[in-house]
Structure 1
Amino acid sequence: MVSEIRPDHESDWAAMTQVATLLGVGTPETIRKWCRQAEIDGGKRPGVSTEESAELKRLKRENAELKRANAILKSASIFFAAELDRPQR
């Protein structure tokens, strides 16, 4: 929308303000961020794309889950190793 109405305004900010009003978005800053992210996703601006960001979040969650599972397995192995070291009756 911003690119469509940009020629009718004196600046990008004015166009973003108009779009924010039309969409009922509280602040034109939100529209500015959306525009910048669209430029990144389109390869027109450097930065982390939406897809890359989502993949990074997924990998961080997976890494945390694997660390928890590893801690549980370490605790279990210590417990069972101690059981094996105890003298049998």
Structure 2
Amino acid sequence: MSKRYPPEVREKAVRLALERLAEYESPYAAAKAIGLMVDVHYETLRVWIKKALAERSQPVAQPSQGLPPAEREELLRLRKEVRDLKQANEILKLASAFFARELDPRDH
């Protein structure tokens, strides 16, 4: 039986996969790795990625070919760092909202 995923899970999983697509050799490899992180079956995520890429009608993101190798490497490292920091920030926002609800005196 197939598992239905809420639209917000789909959007978040696809966004995360598209952001990190350049780190993997193929959309399949990205789906295998990211699917585990977001608790979505990799084949389902692969199909979602394929559809999103087709809708955008853009090829799989590749690093800029005009840059020297050292700069390309640094650019990829910095992009990964930005993504990781954004993800950490999102987690911290969710945690602060959770603890704010726990400490809210109106709920007790």
- Fold conserved between structures, TM > 0.5: no
Structure number with greater CO (CA < 8 Å, separation at least 6) is 2
TM-score normalised by the shorter chain: which range applies?
A: 0.3 to 0.5
Normalised by the size of structure 2, how large is the TM-score? Answer: 0.36
